Amino acid sequence: MEIPEIRTWIMFYLISFVGILWATFLSVQGVMLWVSMFIVIVIIGIHFFTLYNQILLRAQRKELQRQLVQGFERGPKEGDS
């Protein structure tokens, strides 16, 4: 990962952690249980969605890299001295 991507992921997980803490606080208080469950479900859904998109992005990059180096030969050919 590149440095800007790491910073984005750190902020993403910090915001998610705050959301989970808030949902836990609401659950412990015993009020608005549906709101806290909704928050947890939304955060988990967003995590799965972003993970799925990252997997697709990585597969696309890998395919592009494979196409770019398809005819490329590395090093000296046999018989060249």
- pLDDT score, position 42: 92
On whether residue 51 sits in a domain, the answer given is yes
Q: Give 69's DSSP letter.
A: T
User: Higher confidence at residue 77 or residue 71?
Assistant: 71
For the segment 43-70, the average pLDDT, to the nearest whole number, is 88
| Residue 81, pLDDT above cutoff 60 | no
- The C-alpha atoms of residue 55 and residue 59 are separated, in whole angstroms, by 6
On whether residue 57 sits in a domain, the answer given is yes
Q: Give 42's DSSP letter.
A: H
CB atoms within 10 A of CB 23: 21
Residues spanned by the domain of 63: 3-67
pTM: 0.66
On whether residue 79 sits in a domain, the answer given is no
| Residue 1, pLDDT above cutoff 70 | no
On whether residue 76 sits in a domain, the answer given is no
Q: How many structural domains comprise the chain?
A: 1
On whether residue 52 sits in a domain, the answer given is yes
Q: Each residue of 9-53: pLDDT tens digit? A: 888 889 889 999 988 888 888 878 888 889 889 999 998 998 888
CB atoms within 10 A of CB 14: 10
On whether residue 34 sits in a domain, the answer given is yes
On whether residue 81 sits in a domain, the answer given is no
